[in-house]
Amino acid sequence: MQAMKDLQQELLDESRQRMLTPEGKLSLKEHEIKDVAGVITASIMGGAWVALDEFGKGSLMDPDNPALEAYKNSPMWNPARSDATIRSRPNKPGQINIFGKKVQGKGKGGVDLEALGVVTPSLPSHAIQTAARWMKEYRMREKIKGVIANFPFGSFFVTDNT
């Protein structure tokens, strides 16, 4: 359990270090460590700022984001946005932004806010994916070897000297 806690902290630290935005770094947190049927899992989590940092935003966002389709089909996606470019919202009630806050647009919407310089698109950092890949390929193996090397196997064996 302690080894998983250590790996979780390393994943959190590595991910934060690779993030491009202070908001993403601040919103990434430890999640839970679970022991289900002898399998121990640890996770980290973050909200909208982490998603924006990890997968980018606007015309530079990563189209391979596994949550992108769900986002596009949610009330958070701008209905005047036919592509990844950040555009103005239409004047329609009931809209919310990626942070869950109510927003009100103007007119028909659809104005390219990136071209006007009102907002700036950003490249994805892939900070969590990169840190997880590095940990999977190297660090987890190293940690498991250390746990096995230091595990008190002798405490679990009973011998009969007869």
> For 20-56, how does the pLDDT look when each residue is reduced to its tens digit (9 = 90+)?
999 999 999 999 888 888 777 888 999 999 999 999 9
pTM of the model: 0.83
Q: Is 125 exposed, middle or buried (0-12, 13-18, 19+ CB in 10 A)?
A: buried
85-125 confidence digits (pLDDT tens): 999 999 999 999 999 999 999 999 999 999 999 999 999 99
The tokens for 7 are 């790996």
Tell me, what DSSP letter sits at residue 101? -
**C-alpha Rg value of the chain to the nearest Å:** 22
At residue 64, does pLDDT exceed 80? yes
Residue 146 — pLDDT band, cuts 50, 70, 90? confident
Q: Which residues pair with 44 in a beta bridge?
A: 30
Residue 72 confidence (pLDDT) above 80: yes
Helix (H, G, I), strand (E, B) or coil at 84: coil
Count of CB atoms within 10 A of residue 135's CB? 18
Question: Lowest mean pLDDT: which of 76-85, 90-99, 124-133, 134-143?
Answer: 134-143
Cα angle value 124/127/130 (rounded, 5°): 110
Mean pLDDT along residues 54-75: 96
Which parts of the chain are beta strand (E)? 29-36, 39-45, 95-96, 102-103
Is residue 162 very low, low, confident or very high in pLDDT (cuts 50, 70, 90)? low
